[in-house]
Amino acid sequence: IRTKYNIGTDSCTQPCDFNDFLVFDKEPYVVAPAEKNKLSSLLSDKTIEALAFPHLFPDGQGSYDEEREIDLKWKEYCKARLFSSDSRFAADSSYIFYLQYLGDLKQVYSGINIAFRKKLPMSAKQSLDEIQMKFLMNKDMIYRHLQSVRGSPQYWHQRLKDLFGMTRQLGFPTFFITLSCADLRWKEFVDTFIRHTG
């Protein structure tokens, strides 16, 4: 196929000129190496961290889901990775965002599991009922357990309650003051900046 359609590299999934490809063949060229495999979740795949970051785990060892003598909690693992003497993990921004995303995902799944176990004894048929779901949403029973997930509506609702509590205890603020430097009006700063940048 590569020589027939003049594809430049082995890993390319489309030819260099897509119009030529459409003239030669009506069937699309599809590369799907995992086509018949079952999808796995980020939380259930035990090797995803080592496979996603081979430059951080060159031997494939040391990820969170490995067997240890002493079990680590997720937050302890993240602190150990980011604040260790090996700065490779802290220097990789994509790894930091991966840890943040996975932590948020764990909190969301945990909140959902708690909500369904404790507060919402319902069947799958009841969860499809629109009236039942609107009732649960109005009573705030669905989102109540997501208070620990940053950015969720319940998180901000809790912060608003904290703010109201502070104003009730401490009183309303009398004034706000914002201090910022007017660095573009400093003659010395502008002179130094121009001298260094040319």
DSSP string, 62-87: --TTS--SSPPPHHHHHHHHHSSS-T
**Number of other CB atoms surrounding residue 49 within 10 Å:** 23
**Nearest-CA neighbor of 40 among 50, 48, 30?**
48
Helices 74-82 & 93-114 angle (0-180, nearest 10): 170
* Under-70 pLDDT residues of the chain: 1-33, 119-122, 127, 139-142
Q: Residue 94, SS3?
A: helix
Q: What's the predicted TM-score (pTM) here? A: 0.59
Query: Is residue 146 within 8 Å of residue 152, measured between CB atoms?
Result: yes
How confident is the model at residue 80, as a pLDDT? 92
**Nearest-CA neighbor of 144 among 165, 168, 120?**
120
State how far the alpha carbon of 152 is from the alpha carbons of 141, 147, 165, in Å.
14, 7, 20
How confident is the model at residue 114, as a pLDDT? 78
pLDDT digits (tens, 9 = 90+) for 46-84: 888 998 999 999 998 888 888 889 888 999 999 999 999
Query: Is residue 48 within 8 Å of residue 101, measured between CB atoms?
Result: no
How confident is the model at residue 121, as a pLDDT? 63
Query: Is residue 65 within 8 Å of residue 46, measured between CB atoms?
Result: yes
d(CA 115, CA 85): 39
How confident is the model at residue 23, as a pLDDT? 46
How confident is the model at residue 78, as a pLDDT? 93
How confident is the model at residue 3, as a pLDDT? 52
How confident is the model at residue 162, as a pLDDT? 94
**Nearest-CA neighbor of 119 among 97, 154, 145?**
145
> What is the C-alpha radius of gyration for the chain, rounded to an integer number of angstroms?
27
What are 97's two structure tokens?
A: 């965002």
